[in-house]
Amino acid sequence: MEIDRESKRRLDSLYEAFSTVAQDAYVFLCNMKYDYSRWSKNAVNFFGLPGEYMENAGGIWEEYIHPDDRADYHASIERIFTNSDSGHDMQYRARAVDGSYVVCTCRGVVMMGEDGKPLYFGGSIKNHGMTSYIDPITGLRSLYGFFEDLKTMFQKKDVGIILEIGISNFANYNDLHGYSFGNRILQSFARLLSQRFANAGAVYRLDGTKFSVITHTLTLDEVKDIYQEIHDYVRSSFFVDERKVAITINAGDMLVDNFDITDKIVYTCLRYSYYESKNLHMGDLVTFVDGVNDNNRITLNKLDAIRNSVLDGCSGFFLTYQPIMHADSLTLRGVEALLRWKNDTYGLVPPIQFIPVLEQDAVFPILGKWILKQAMTDGCKLMEKYPDIIVNINLSYAQLKSPGFVEEVLTLLSETGLPAHNLCLEITERCRLVNKELLYDIITIFRSMGIKIALDDFGTGYSTLEILRELKVDTVKIDRGFVMNIETSTADQATLKCVSELASSFNADVCVEGVETKDMQDFIRQYRVSSLQGYYYSKPVPLDEFMNREF
């Protein structure tokens, strides 16, 4: 809907009033009926925005926000435009015109019209710049201060331990008691960390509800003991403004004694161990062991090299393809695209060694997009020989939770020319880490476009059955671990029978992975399965080799 002249005049008039009282901040004002905004000219110049006047400014601005901060911003804007929130007060990093990121504090309020409906959303954005090394809420050194000290640590080759610790249920207190009380929780928690690590480490506030500690005097066991004390204390004896507050925390740490790598990969590994604590270990401290054992230290170097390869145009990465066969006719049904990385130093490296860690890195969206585009491009070549072939591509949970992922997939389909019905996206057990409603919405959109969805490694995680029950998928892929002894094991036979019948009840096909012999193939075909995959048909091979084979 195009804004009319009178509404634009009123927007300008109110904007000028906002600008008069704003101090050292960028002003923005949005007419919510038309989603039409005016922004400070200084903000336009500093960040390289399209112009002072913008339609869908919230969506445009989201693209400038650091990938790690977008989800919180996106959720906040959605709540504002669905009348669930009356404004927001948040911090995030935004990309300047030169490509660097600066810390911004954004405060905005919703103004109601005479009819009681939301009319304007306006406020200010404070640009803290690259010099914002002190967190204004807690007084601790900020994320930029943390990275500065981490770089110094590397320059001096100063061995130490880094701990990342964060609060899980913080949003509940924000929703119940407001942002002011939430800030006091952060301040109290910051004081607690400073007290427990007094004279033993430097404490930082990272982003959101995450904090970090760098210590050069404590051992891993001592850090673990202090964390356990804090973990128990905040669950039972933590008070803010004389009000008892029970919070849950998570933490990961690592010993840094290898300085042949970059500080960026250290931070990535630290985030990996933190999210392992949060998602898989109920808040217990998780140590990134690859930084501890000298025999495994090459793994960190390998991760560092792989990360640099992503930044170097995804050099060293390539895809291999494994056939998926129709169970009834034993003819080719599809292929699964499988990622590999290789260089002269480390040789061939399978994705299991780096994907779970790299998912926590800001560079991962680059690799994820490369995988999708390359597999779709190769899929078009495969269709020249096999017109009905289905190209299966594995998704990372990091891709699913990334804003704009659906649009990215649809854009790549258009660019490469691969028909949507020739694409199957595989989600795994780790995808349970994505918000269930978000996952449902994504799958619904994809399937409405004709894209198929497969649930990979069925049965390997405790929530897989829930995913199958809640989400509509086209195919269930049974992990090879459940059929390795299918010919002799009554347990494997019962499992396959149960899963195949269960999938059928949800109108999903069944693909059995790990088929290695003809006898195994023939035995499995007596069950209700639709497709087969495994080394009996072919190991994963590059595209050219696949095209030269007959299936």
The pLDDT tens digits of the residues spanning 179-220 come to 788 889 999 999 999 999 988 989 999 988 999 999 999 999
Residues 503, 130: Cα–Cα separation, whole Å? 53
List the structure tokens of 373. 């585009």
Count Cβ atoms below 10 Å from residue 281 Cβ, excluding itself. Answer: 15
Tens of pLDDT, residue by residue over 67-86, are 988 988 998 899 998 888 88
Q: How far apart are the C-alpha atoms of 534 and 528, rounded to whole Å?
A: 18
Q: Does domain 313-547 have CATH number 3.20.20.450?
A: yes
Sign of the Cα pseudo-torsion (61, 65, 70, 73, in order):
negative
For the chain, the structural domain boundaries read 5-129, 143-292, 313-547
The SS3 call for residue 18 is helix
Region of poorest pLDDT, from 51-55, 124-128, 247-251, 465-469: 465-469
Task: Answer yes or no: is pLDDT of 111 > 60.
Answer: yes
Provide the 8-state DSSP code for 40. Answer: -
Enter the tokens of residue 182.
Answer: 């939430």
Phi and psi angles of residue 276, each rounded to the nearest 5 degrees, phi first: -65, -40
| Cα 446–Cα 451–Cα 452 angle in degrees, nearest 5 | 105
Query: Is it the case that residue 459 has pLDDT exceeding 90?
Result: no
How many C-beta neighbours within 10 Å does residue 429 have? 19
Residue 475's H or E segment, with its range, is strand 475-478
pLDDT at residue 61 in the model = 96
Q: 132 near 146, Cβ under 8 Å?
A: no
SS3 track for 442-505: HHHHHHHCCCEEEEEEECCCCCHHHHHHHCCCCEEEECHHHCCCCCCCHHHHHHHHHHHHHHHH
Contact by Cβ (8 Å): 88, 74: no
In this structure, which topology does domain 5-129 adopt according to CATH?
Beta-Lactamase (3.30.450)
The whole-angstrom separation of Cα 382 and Cα 388 is 9
State how far the Cα of 156 lies from the Cα of 257, in Å rounded to an integer.
11
Q: What is the 3-state secondary structure (H, E, C) of 327-346?
A: CCCCCEEEEEEEEEEEECCC
Angle between helices 170-177 and 179-196 (to 10 degrees): 140
Greatest extent of the chain over all pairs of C-alpha atoms, in Å = 81
> Tokens 């990275």 identify what position?
147
Burial class (CB in 10 A: 0-12, 13-18, 19+), 388: exposed
Give the range with max mean pLDDT: 111-125, 160-174, 217-231: 217-231
The yes-or-no verdict on residue 424 having pLDDT over 60 is yes
pLDDT at residue 547 is higher than 90? yes
Tokens of 207: 């982003």
Close Cβ partners of 113 (under 8 Å, ≥ 6 residues apart): 119
143-292, what's its fold?
Alpha-Beta Plaits (3.30.70)
Q: How many alpha carbons fall within 13 Å on the CB side of residue 24?
A: 5
